[in-house]
Amino acid sequence: MSALIETVGVTKAYGDFVALDGVTLSVADGETVAIVGPNGAGKTTLVNVLTGLLKPNEGVVRFKGEDIAGIGPVKLAQRGMARAFQLVHIFPALTVAETIAVAVVSQAGRSLSLFGSLRRDAALWTKVRDVAAIFGLDTKLDAEARLLSQGEKKLLDIASAFALVPEVILLDEPTSGVSSGDKHGIMKTLVDAARRAGVKAIILVEHDMDLVAEYSTRIVALQGGKVLADRVPGEFFSDPELIASVIGKRVDKFAAREGAR
């Protein structure tokens, strides 16, 4: 199975500090790959390399076979990979409809300076309504983003990424700051939305191991900038030492869960 996105021997250093050290991984069609690890493991740097924000010092980053190292998220989105960028926090005064429209306009390569004239673009607003409906936000199109609940803000962030019509979507802590009761609802919504939208693969950076266990098809664990493990969930959660290195005290809970399956 050929990789949609892959890194080969990627190293990224900041002076003497090595954030990524020879990282090799791949994500194929149909996969939801969770990237996990303790604070300082290199997750954020890896995400920034994968989405073209950072160019590695060494190694190769490819998307659909093409070198994407350092090309930037805008060009990468136009090629078919998107990242949820928390637009709600960048443009809190925009409405739900306007926030999604920013992404739609960006994907089409049109200028935001023409935003006023775009208000008369029926096709644009049809697309906005369709995306909003997928995430249950169609009744809040005129609400300012800053007035949404935390869970709704997360859904709007993700909806904006989906509006870019990606083949691969990268979700960086999509449930952070959301109450425990809402987390599974948000994850189920976005996974279902991905299937409906034709997204081929999801890269998920998530610290909540319940969500990782439930929704990932493969888990890549980082530690000290290196790949500690690359395993399917059953193998990952049946290894107490591996779990301890990533999540510490919750070893027994997850070992018991996998043993019961």
CA–CA dist 40, 28 (Å, integer): 26
In a domain, 212, yes or no: no
Phi, psi of 229 (to 5 degrees): -160, 150
Residue-wise DSSP of 21-87: EEEEEEEETT-EEEEE-STTSSHHHHHHHHTTSS--SEEEEEETTEE-TT--HHHHHHHTEEE---H
Which amino acid is located at 62 in the chain? R
The pTM assigned to this predicted structure is 0.84
In a domain, 154, yes or no: yes
In a domain, 227, yes or no: no
In a domain, 100, yes or no: yes
In a domain, 220, yes or no: no
pLDDT per position as a tens digit, 55-94: 999 999 999 999 999 998 888 888 999 887 666 676 788 8
pLDDT per position as a tens digit, 142-165: 999 999 988 888 889 888 888 888
- Residues with Cβ < 8 Å from 113, sequence gap 6 or more? none
In a domain, 145, yes or no: yes
Its domain, for residue 87, covers 81-165
Residue 153: give its domain's CATH number: 3.40.50.300
In a domain, 109, yes or no: yes
In a domain, 146, yes or no: yes
Instruction: Quote the number of domains for the chain.
Output: 1
CA–CA dist 50, 63 (Å, integer): 9
